[in-house]
Each structure stands twice: as structure tokens, then as C-alpha cells.
């Protein structure tokens, strides 16, 4: 059975943090627009945005070593670190706007202050960390960062990690107190509650099966009721495909030229979660290590204090792995079904190029629990396997495309907005740095898809996100002002804060 529903201005596919962010921006910029959301699961934020499916790091390059690479001359390139930090500041400003306008409440339910640390061992890595510290610590965005290679200082910062450590290898860490733990699941649910209050129709258990362009230029979306199988057709002027890992197959269905020659490479993940309150109490911070040689950037190990369900907890991981599914709740046929005549060469080229990565991921899947505990013991020498359980994290579908620099079938590790030339449809692909930069990425969707509205919208965007369009690193006083005010509004102020 099928029927045709009334037209709407905007359809958002998927109820993850990306659709939540775009919907919230649009509701402020064009409150009169009708927005509908279709989500195949029973609630918002159940896939990658869920708190148990991602690491909850407010990525701002305070501790992630893969955002600062060492150049051939030995100096440290901090360009990417600055970019990601500035993008996170946009998210902080938009969330602060929503809190101060009372559109969402209780920021402590989704964002908490937590020191961000980087930890390395071995002479070469220690020298890299020192250089990284020297390159960043004088930069206004990274002020307050400390470095130490003194075991006594490190015992103060990370007692659990230092206890029982017998190796004589040099060890060093950096620490910065202005880091955050973000519960993206809670944030997504709050944003969808807010959208519902604003009249957005959010339909759960509705799976989008097809997207077609009609002769009048509108997009028609075929939606199936997950329980009854009943099919409905909805039309809209603008569609955002925010299906997370499920975005690529939906983008392919649009048939737009921009959807061709793109593939997806799914990477699965596991975290170890500590079940012993005594161990949890001995650690306070997000401590990022260095990726092993041959490991992809998303498998950098880290030991994280997390705030989930109003409780402090401790997670280690992620262990990356291979699964052909594009969503945690997806199908084993996802990868193979995404291979089309237009992307088969791109996919095959990536298959050949990324043999080593595939082998690495399969080895990771086959790791026994004892082997995982051995990796954990590189962080917590005295870790006991009975104190740790395994949780399955979300899927990350990395984009594969042909690029000038990398050639055919190059694996991308960032996020990408793919949109039609006329701006009537946009999809978000890729996973990193992900949810932290949702506001930046959704502003990019607005710029690409609604260029004719941007002049009119700009004053409102600047009211919500004062640093929009500005480089904060070039305006340190403005950065300090914004950082202090967002810290205040989001409840992130600590007595010792360098920004107060």
C-alpha cells in the first residue's frame, strides 16, 4: 500500500547529530520552513552519535597526535590542529547560543571539562612530543598546555598509568585542562526534543528506501514503515542525507553526477569499558597515545574518563576492525551492494592499495581478549582482565575516491559534504573528526546549498556563532573572550582555568 504525502521544504534523513545540528541551524535561520525527519531506528542518536558508539572527545587537537605531523625537516606542522580547534570553537558557540536562549538546558548533561593529554614512550616519540608542545603551547588556541618527562610529575597527572611501570624507556606527556568530554548521544536527543518543540515532524521507525528527482525539480523520498512495511512518498525542495554510514547508498540512489566514483570502506570498532569503580576513580583525563606503525589514524589508542548516564566511567580503545556493514545495525551486504559500475574501478584500486590496512583490520578483529588486555597494559600496567568488559562501537565508513594527489581509489580519513550542483540535495560522508565539528560541517552545507540566502542569514549566524567566517588564531583576544564566555555558559569553568 502507498500514498502521497504533502510537500515539505526540507527532509532530513537520519536522526544523528548531523541532522540534529542542521535542523537546529535552519530553525533559527528560516523558522517558517517545514522540516520533516525520517529515522529508521526507534529513537534519535542510536547509531554513531550514541554515547557508547563513539569516544566522546571534543576534538580540538589538544591531545590527538595525528593532527600534527612531522615534516621532512623535522619541524611540526600545526595547520590541521589549528583548523580542527577553530572548528570545535564553532560548535561550542552554537551550543552556548542554544543554552543561553533556553532552547536546550543543562549543558552538563552533554559536555564536561576533562584534561586532554598525549602520552608517548621511547626517545623518538618523546622528542616528537616535545617539538609538538613547543609548536603549540605559544599558540593562543593551545594556551595552558604543559609538558613533562619527569616520572614524578606524570605520577601526579596519571597515577593509574604510572603505577607498576617498570620500563626504563623515556616517557613524556602533555596536559591541557581545557579539554572536554562530549556526550553526543545526549546532545542529539536534546536537539531533537528542541526540534519537536519547534514543530519539526520527527518520524521514527521510518526507513528511506529511495530518492528520486521529479519532473518539477522536487525530490521524492520513498519511506517504509519499519513495522508494517507500509510505504509513503514525501516530497521536498531540499534533502539532507544524514544517514551516517548509511549515507553513501542513499546518495547513490539520487543519481546526481557528484555521487559517482565514490566508494565507502567500513571500519568497525570496539571499546573496553572498566567495571571496577576503584580503578575508574584513579584516573581523570583523556589520554591519547600514538598509532602503531601501519595502523589507521582512527585506531589511536586512548584511555578516557567519560561521563555517561551521569556517571564517571573509563573506556579504552578503540580497537578497529573490519566488518562489511555500513551501520552497526546494517547488513553484511552493505559493502558489496555499494559497488556500482561507476565506482567499481575506484573500489578495486582502493582494494589493491589498502591491502595492508585490510590485513591490519582483520588481524584486529581476530585479537583475543587476552591480547586486547595486553594492549591495555601498555597504558595500565596492572590492568586485570576481569575489570574490563567489551562494548561494540559504531561503524565508520571512510570515503574512497579518486584524487589528484593520491590517484584512483584513495582512502580519505576526513568528513566530506557531497552536494548537487544546484544545492537541492547534500550528503555527509566520512567520520572524522566527526561530531565535534558538526556545526562547521553543517554551515558548509548551508553555504553550498543555500548561497542565495547566506547574505540574509549572516547577521543571525554571527549572533549565534560570533567567530563565523573569522580566523580565531589571528584574533587571540577575541578567542579568549569567546572561549571564556562559552566555558561559562557550558559550565566548563574550573577555578584554575587559564581563561578566567
Ligand X SMILES: Cc1cc2nc3c(=O)[nH]c(=O)nc-3n(C[C@H](O)[C@H](O)[C@H](O)COP(=O)(O)OP(=O)(O)OC[C@H]3O[C@@H](n4cnc5c(N)ncnc54)[C@H](O)[C@@H]3O)c2cc1C
Binding site residues, ligand X, CB under 6 A:
13-19, 38-41, 46-49, 53-57, 59, 184, 207-208, 242-244, 246, 250, 269, 318, 327, 393-394, 396, 428, 431, 433-436
Closest distance to ligand X from the beta carbon of 36 (Å): 12
Cell 521510518 -> residue: 206
49 vs 252 by CB, closer to ligand X: 49
Rounded-to-integer distance, Cα 479 and Cα 474, Å: 9
Cell 533556553 -> residue: 102
Rounded-to-integer distance, Cα 244 and Cα 208, Å: 13
Closest distance to ligand X from the beta carbon of 88 (Å): 9
263 vs 296 by CB, closer to ligand X: 296
Beta carbons within 8 Å of 477's beta carbon, 6+ residues apart: none
222 vs 377 by CB, closer to ligand X: 222
Closest distance to ligand X from the beta carbon of 316 (Å): 12
Rounded-to-integer distance, Cα 179 and Cα 158, Å: 16
CB 237 within 8 A of CB 448: no
Closest distance to ligand X from the beta carbon of 46 (Å): 5
312 vs 475 by CB, closer to ligand X: 312
88 vs 147 by CB, closer to ligand X: 88
Closest distance to ligand X from the beta carbon of 268 (Å): 8
Closest distance to ligand X from the beta carbon of 102 (Å): 24
264 vs 269 by CB, closer to ligand X: 269
62 vs 428 by CB, closer to ligand X: 428
Closest distance to ligand X from the beta carbon of 318 (Å): 5
42 vs 336 by CB, closer to ligand X: 42
111 vs 250 by CB, closer to ligand X: 250
Q: Which parts of 240-332 fold into alpha helices (H)?
A: 247-254, 277-281
Q: Three-state DSSP class for 452?
A: helix
Name the residue whose CB lies closest to ligand X. Answer: 16
231-234, long-range: CB within 8 Å, 24+ apart, which pairs? Answer: 231/1, 231/2, 232/2, 232/3, 232/4, 232/5, 232/206, 233/2, 233/3, 233/4, 233/5, 234/5, 234/8, 234/11, 234/36, 234/38
Closest distance to ligand X from the beta carbon of 231 (Å): 13
Closest distance to ligand X from the beta carbon of 343 (Å): 19
Closest distance to ligand X from the beta carbon of 244 (Å): 2
172 vs 182 by CB, closer to ligand X: 182
Beta carbons within 8 Å of 132's beta carbon, 6+ residues apart: 65, 68, 76, 78, 118, 174
Evaluated on CA atoms 335, 340, 343, 346, the torsion sign reads positive
CB 241 within 8 A of CB 427: yes
Beta carbons within 8 Å of 272's beta carbon, 6+ residues apart: 315, 316, 317, 372, 373, 376, 388, 389, 390, 391
Q: What 8-state DSSP symbol labels residue 108?
A: G
Amino acid at each position: 500500500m502507498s500514498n502521497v504525502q504533502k510537500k515539505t521544504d526540507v527532509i532530513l534523513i537520519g536522526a544523528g547529530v548531523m541532522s540534529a545540528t542542521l535542523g537546529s541551524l535552519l530553525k533559527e535561520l528560516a523558522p517558517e520552513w517545514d522540516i520533516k525527519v525520517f529515522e529508521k531506528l526507534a529513537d534519535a542518536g542510536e547509531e554513531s552519535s550514541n554515547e557508547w558508539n563513539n569516544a566522546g572527545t571534543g576534538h580540538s587537537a589538544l591531545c590527538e597526535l595525528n593532527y600534527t605531523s612531522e615534516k621532512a625537516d623535522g619541524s611540526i606542522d600545526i595547520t590541521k590542529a589549528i583548523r580542527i580547534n577553530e572548528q570545535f570553537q564553532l560548535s561550542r558557540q552554537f551550543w552556548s547560543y542554544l543554552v543561553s536562549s533556553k532552547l536546550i538546558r543543562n549543558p552538563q548533561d552533554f559536555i564536561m571539562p576533562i584534561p586532554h593529554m598525549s602520552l608517548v614512550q621511547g626517545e623518538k616519540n618523546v622528542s616528537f612530543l616535545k617539538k609538538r608542545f613547543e609548536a603549540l603551547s605559544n599558540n593562543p588556541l593551545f594556551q595552558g598546555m604543559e609538558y613533562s618527562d619527569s616520572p614524578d610529575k606524570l605520577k601526579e597527572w596519571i597515577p593509574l598509568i604510572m603505577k607498576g611501570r617498570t620500563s626504563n624507556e623515556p616517557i613524556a606527556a602533555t596536559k591541557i585542562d581545557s579539554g572536554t568530554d562530549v556526550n553526543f548521544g545526549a546532545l542529539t536527543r536534546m536537539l531533537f526534543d528542541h526540534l519537536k518543540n519547534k514543530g519539526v515532524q520527527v518520524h521514527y521507525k521510518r526507513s528511506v528506501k529511495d530518492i528520486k528527482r521529479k519532473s518539477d525539480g522536487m525530490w521524492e523520498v520513498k519511506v517504509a514503515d519499519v513495522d508494517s512495511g507500509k510505504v509513503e512518498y514525501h516530497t521536498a525542495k531540499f534533502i539532507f542525507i544524514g544517514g551516517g554510514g548509511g549515507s553513501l547508498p542513499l546518495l547513490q540512489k539520487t543519481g546526481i553526477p557528484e555521487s559517482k566514483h565514490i566508494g565507502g570502506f567500513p571500519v568497525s570498532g570496539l571499546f573496553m569499558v572498566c567495571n571496577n569503580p576503584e580503578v575508574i576513580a584513579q584516573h581523570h583525563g583523556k589520554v591519547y597515545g600514538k598509532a602503531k606503525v601501519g595502523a589507521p589514524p582512527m585506531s589511536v589508542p586512548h584511555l578516557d574518563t567519560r561521563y555517561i548516564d551521569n556517571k564517571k566511567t573509563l573506556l579504552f580503545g578503540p580497537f578497529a576492525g573490519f566488518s562489511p556493514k555500513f551501520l552497526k545495525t546494517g547488513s553484511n551486504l552493505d559493502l558489496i551492494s555499494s559497488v556500482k559500475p561507476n565506482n567499481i574501478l575506484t573500489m578495486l584500486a582502493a582494494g589493491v592499495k589498502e591491502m595492508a590496512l585490510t590485513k591490519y583490520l582483520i588481524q584486529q578483529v581476530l585479537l583475543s581478549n587476552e591480547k586486547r588486555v595486553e594492549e591495555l597494559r601498555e597504558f595500565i600496567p596492572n590492568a586485570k582482565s576481569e575489570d574490563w568488559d567489551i562494548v561494540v562501537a559504531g561503524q565508520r565508513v571512510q570515503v574512497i575516491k579518486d584524487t589528484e594527489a593520491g590517484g584512483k581509489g584513495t582512502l580519505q580519513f576526513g568528513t566530506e559534504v557531497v552536494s548537487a550542483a544546484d544545492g537541492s540535495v547534500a550528503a555527509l560522508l566520512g567520520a572524522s573528526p566527526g561530531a565535534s565539528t558538526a556545526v562547521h560541517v553543517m554551515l558548509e552545507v548551508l553555504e553550498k546549498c543555500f548561497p542565495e540566502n547566506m547574505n540574509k542569514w549572516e547577521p543571525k549566524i554571527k549572533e549565534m556563532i560570533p567567530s563565523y567566517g573569522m580566523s580565531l588564531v589571528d584574533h587571540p583576544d577575541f578567542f579568549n573572550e569567546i572561549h571564556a564566555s562559552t566555558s561559562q555558559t557550558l559550565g566548563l569553568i574550573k577555578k584554575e582555568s587559564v581563561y578566567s
